[in-house]
Amino acid sequence: MDKQIFIDKVRQAQGKHNPVPMPTFDENDTVSTTATRGGAKAAFMRNFTANHGDVFESCDSLVEFLKSKGCKTGVADAKLSDLFGLEKHFEISREFDRQNNPDGYDFGISKASFAIGENGAIVFKDSDTADRLNTIAPWIHVAVVDSKSIVSTLPEGLAQTVDSPYAVYVTGPSKTTDVEGVLVEGVHGPGVQAVLIV
């Protein structure tokens, strides 16, 4: 069959089709009240932890965690204004070195744009991040989240990224699974994803 004849037949079939309008949904129909219970911050902490993420509310507990993982060097996103005293415990670069050893950083730390309680996601908008490699190349990544920026629902989060040409939603360590159902973490990004809530 000729390509144009095929396309014409498809268009004819579409012309006979009477489309049914999509149903409209209220936000109450699409938001999980179970996932959002307890407020935005509590929901985020619970759901992020359920996705195998690590949550810290103090720099001291983050420092102990990083030391327990054997960390000595890190890279901090240039747009992160406060290092929370991490530079006293670790050798920190302020720019990702692509030339030397990109795998040489034990951890990366960067500022998240906001977080979502309902699905335990941290969100990185391109405009708030100087270098995406800080978030994906080191084995351990720490996102700094302002507690006031945690929203309750996914629709609230999506509304905050409509003006952003690039945004990444992270719900825990990188994961993939094979046909047998074997889950492997840290395949396409960090094997350890942590959050420091400030």
Q: Are 172 and 48 in contact (CB under 8 A)?
A: yes
Look up residue 138 and give its amino acid.
Answer: P
pLDDT of residue 114: 96
Residue whose structure tokens are 């990702």: 96
- For 76, the token pair is 């901090």
pTM: 0.79
d(CA 189, CA 194): 13
> Which residue type sits at 178?
D
At the second CATH level, the architecture of 27-197 is 3-Layer(aba) Sandwich (3.40)
Strand partners, 77: none
The pLDDT, as a whole number, for residue 1 is 65
pLDDT for the residue 30: 66
Taking CA atoms, 154 is separated from 52, 127, 135, 158, in Å, by 19, 20, 21, 6
Would you state the pLDDT for residue 102? 67
Whether the CA torsion 146, 130, 92, 195 is positive or negative: it is positive
User: Mean pLDDT in runs of 10 for the chain (198 residues)?
Assistant: 81 74 72 79 94 94 96 91 91 83 85 94 88 80 96 91 87 76 73 93
Residue-level pLDDT at 146: 96
Where are the domains positioned within the chain? 27-197
SS3 of 64-83: the string is HHHHHCCCCEEEECCCCCCC
